Amino acid sequence: MTNEAIQAIMNATFSGLAIFCRDLDLEESLIAKYQPNQILMERGFTDLSYKIGGMVKNCRFLIASAKGRDISMLSQNPELGHILLQSGAFFKVLDIQKENGKTQILLLNIPQEGVPIFATSKINIEDQIIEKGIEIFKKGIESEPIPMLQTKDWVDRTAFPIGMNREGVFFMDMN
């Protein structure tokens, strides 16, 4: 891979990076399947919010992405802060935090062409993302939840794990 190709992958991954989340109740047996440095692929669209409040559910997917599209203006509930990632999105598991019965799985959204690089290397900026993720997790344990993100419609929309089906089978196994 050329230096130019690598630079293009880094730009696609980190330029305009923002942090989004979705909370859900997930069985501990499924949470345990996620491991740092694992590469995931999500078949469906990924619904997230740019509004990050306290955790009501036992699991939070915190996602760092430069590809999130704000579709809240198209929503009947723009106060959700609805962000959408395209189907077929790839992720690297950067970190997993656990405290007081809560788990946060920190994912970095990566371009498909970057999978070989991210699967075998650690990029320096990943440490900064992990530090920010830990800070958000600690605040999430102490903060009040955002009521709009507790509505039945939103909870149903975000009730499934990322990168695997409800039975715990990963859509792609690169590890």
In order of start, what are the domains of the chain with their CATH numbers?
3-157 (3.90.176)
Round the average pLDDT of the chain to a whole number and report it. 95
Mean pLDDT within 30-47: 97
Tell me: pLDDT of 173 over 90.
no
> Can you tell me the distance from the alpha carbon of 165 to that of 143, in angstroms, rounded to the nearest whole number?
30
Give how far Cα 29 sits from Cα of 32, 124, 164, 166, 169, Å: 5, 31, 13, 11, 12
For residue range 106-130, list pLDDT tens digits in order.
Answer: 999 999 999 999 999 999 999 999 9
Tokens at 42, concatenated: 């999500």
Identify the pLDDT of residue 92.
98
Identify the pLDDT of residue 174.
44
Q: What is the pTM of this model?
A: 0.95
> Can you tell me the distance from the alpha carbon of 1 to that of 146, in angstroms, rounded to the nearest whole number?
44
For residue range 133-142, list pLDDT tens digits in order.
Answer: 999 999 999 9
